[in-house]
Structure 1
């Protein structure tokens, strides 16, 4: 087929018809890399956010440290980590992990400190332990704010993962790079860029729905 006589949209459709399986494979790979980084960050960041909400003197220091990490350009971060860990998926997962810390720590801290102290005093008066107040009162009331941080982290992570193609991690960024190296690569770039954008939109939508379901205020309405 003569690709030269096709417009970009036709080339895009043709590329998908010929390489749909490969695009889907890279889509799944891209999504999993992003998810792993954000999940590992949540495992660390949520307890840290809870801790600094109890020990507020540490809050500014921890949040400033996470802010410093956030100011490092993602390509520079991947390059630095590549020197330490070599090429491959692990470098990108660690990068996503580091960039996901700030929004999750900050939102967890914000959600926890916004819980009405009077409600906690009632729980204490009812004989609830510190852990019971945390698990049964504070976290349910703060969960929507925490989920907003995770939601933000995942959308950012999807964009960062695209850069991972430069260190051999694969993903949709690999397709975009192939397009930049091709003579008529606009359609190939779209084949990588559009699924990336779609992934970010769907992820944000789904997590938004989960956030509303977990919010006790919205659930009661």
Structure 2
């Protein structure tokens, strides 16, 4: 999962970025609407966390422009707890959810997972494919009764593959979900290494990751 957080309170944003990284997600931070537009011009996101009060205007302006342009990326608005009018306006403009400040970071993570899960075929707290089960909240996978020993990025890769089980995902799409702009020294071909590691850990089971040259990778049952 790759998230863009648009928030001008730097210490809050840095805490969220660090927490999401530990949960296996990539989170970019924009401090204003202009920066957010720059990020979105070069990168697609699974979800946005958007503050309403920003230095160069209201986050509602960005939300309005996104929806007017047909962009359906899930948006979680950050609002003051007492700002009922802002919450109502945000929802009317197409926000998918809102969270009042101050907030518990665990709730932020849970709400983001719920937003991303809305478009998934499986909407429960676990994703199941044959003998393989994966809990996104804990980033823990089991193959039958055995727990898989996964690194943070291996778990993140398995997460996105399972959310799109049966579909081919390009190498670039997978790379963007695992690595942020600060990982510019890591090439897109690193995905091949992580795919190889996952295949080794899934070997002997009916769960397989297949490759279609020039198209991408797909997880499914043999």
TM-score relative to the length of structure 1? 0.24
- Larger relative contact order (Cα-Cα within 8 Å, sequence gap ≥ 6): 1
Task: Looking at secondary structure, tell me which structure has more strand per residue.
Answer: 2
| Higher alpha-carbon Rg | 1
TM-score relative to the length of structure 2? 0.24
